[in-house]
């Protein structure tokens, strides 16, 4: 029997438009759409500039209650890989109200990884079907996997390890 908090998170995820929590793999490593977004200090963050590293993109919003449950695991993941410099964790806010609502939220929830300001259109380009949505981008710039719902630290480590494995690209794709 699952603990009550798992059921609560699943119900909240459904309220945010997320499908049943789980993994939707994209092992074909289609090329990740490039973007250049501003972080909260107005510094540009360009996805293509991060080639050679595994990139975890967490699409989230302040109005999405389950999104806050993702923060501790992402903080722990970032910390665990800080010395190796092989991983970048980026939270992509889809809040339409901008930095004014995002900054207080990240302070309150203790976010320690980079936050950039995106939108739902970009999230959809990456295959997000609700929030939170996590996309693992392999060092070659291809999408390794997509995940809907809250993911705990242990599973995040598995995702990172899988994304780092070199695989040939699908014919006709260009990661």
| Domains defined along the chain, listed by start | 4-163 (3.40.30.10)
Question: Could you give the CA distance from residue 88 to residue 85 in angstroms, rounded to a whole number?
Answer: 8
DSSP E strands in 81-158: the ranges are 87-93, 114-117, 133-137, 143-148
The more confident residue out of 138 and 20 is 138
Q: How far apart are CA 136 and CA 118, in angstroms?
A: 17
Alpha-carbon gap, residue 145 to 161, rounded angstroms: 12
Among the residue ranges 39-43, 117-121, 154-158, 166-170, the one predicted with the least confidence is: 166-170
Model pLDDT, residue 7: 40
Mean pLDDT of 143-161: 96
Site of tokens 């993941």: 77
CA-based radius of gyration for the chain: 15
pLDDT at site 174: 52
pLDDT in tens, 73-127: 999 999 999 998 899 999 999 999 999 999 999 999 999 999 999 999 999 999 9
Q: What is the pLDDT of residue 169?
A: 54
pLDDT of residue 166: 72
């Amino acid at each position: 029997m699952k603990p009550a908090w798992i059921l609560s998170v699943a119900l909240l995820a459904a309220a945010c438009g997320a499908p049943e929590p789980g993994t939707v793999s994209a092992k074909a490593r289609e090329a990740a759409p490039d973007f250049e977004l501003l972080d909260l200090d107005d510094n540009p963050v360009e996805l293509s500039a991060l080639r050679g590293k595994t990139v975890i993109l967490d699409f989230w919003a302040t109005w999405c209650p389950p999104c806050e449950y993702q923060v501790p695991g992402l903080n722990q993941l970032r910390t665990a890989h800080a010395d190796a410099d092989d991983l970048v964790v980026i939270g992509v806010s889809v809040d339409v109200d901008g930095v004014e609502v995002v900054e207080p939220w990240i302070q309150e929830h203790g976010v320690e990884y980079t936050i950039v300001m995106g939108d739902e259109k970009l999230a959809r380009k990456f295959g997000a079907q609700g929030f939170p949505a996590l996309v693992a981008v392999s060092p070659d710039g291809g999408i390794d996997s997509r995940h809907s719902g809250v993911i705990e630290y242990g599973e995040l480590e598995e995702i990172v390890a899988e994304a780092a494995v070199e695989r040939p690209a699908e014919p006709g794709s260009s990661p």
